[in-house]
Amino acid sequence: MSTPRPRAAVAAVLITLTLPLTLMAAPAQAQSPDRYEDQARVVTNNKRDGHDLARFRKGACVQRFAERQARRMARQERMYHQDLGKVMRRCNLSTAGENVAYGYPTGRRVVQAWMRSQGHRRNILNGRFRLLGMAAARDNDGTMYAAQVFGRH
């Protein structure tokens, strides 16, 4: 029996555009969710620095949606996207996007995988996005699920 491979997907909502994508990589032992989140946030902002883009600010509302999404995916042991229209309404955003993944052992590794995918990379390097919510949660088997929620007021 083969080991399930990590997967990542993205949905970007820019006005009315939605774009889903999928990535896969080999699983390994994951960090604590708090360390994972912190590391992914730092690496994500470092990627923006390297492209002369403003660093993301942590937005309380998008952070809550990222946390909720990571916990739901881990609880259900499946990766999927949330309704970004709801995120935009509740957080009073003009645009929003999301990257999701599972099975990546560290925050650094998940961001590296997202950066190798055109759609994920587009979210991370989108100059219109100013806010970032970053969350990670572990399922009962120890697999890490991650969610990034991007936005702009």
Question: How many angstroms separate the CA atoms of 125 and 132, rounded?
Answer: 12
- Assess contact for 149 and 123: CB atoms under 8 A: no
Look at residues 120, 91, 126 and name the one whose alpha carbon lies nearest to residue 104: 120
Question: How many angstroms separate the CA atoms of 47 and 44, rounded?
Answer: 5
- Position 29 scores a pLDDT of 56
- Position 31 scores a pLDDT of 82
Give the model's confidence band at 106: pLDDT under 50 very low, under 70 low, under 90 confident, else very high.
Answer: very high
- Assess contact for 132 and 117: CB atoms under 8 A: no
User: Average pLDDT in the 51-69 region?
Assistant: 98
Q: Is the pLDDT of residue 38 over 90?
A: yes
pTM above 0.75, yes or no: yes
- Assess contact for 43 and 31: CB atoms under 8 A: no
Print the SS3 string covering the chain: CCCCCCEEEEEEEECCECCCEEEECCCCCCCCHHHHHHHHHHHHHHHHHCCCCCCCEECHHHHHHHHHHHHHHHHHCCCCCCCHHHHHHHHCCCEEEEEEEECCCCHHHHHHHHHCCHHHHHHHCCCCCCEEEEEEEECCCCCEEEEEEEEEC
- Position 17 scores a pLDDT of 33
Q: Is the pLDDT of residue 19 over 70?
A: no
Q: Where is pLDDT greater, at 74 or 17?
A: 74
Token reading at 34: 């708090």
| pLDDT digits 0-9 by tens, 113-147 | 999 999 999 999 999 999 999 999 999 999 999 99
Q: Is the pLDDT of residue 18 over 50?
A: no
- Position 113 scores a pLDDT of 97
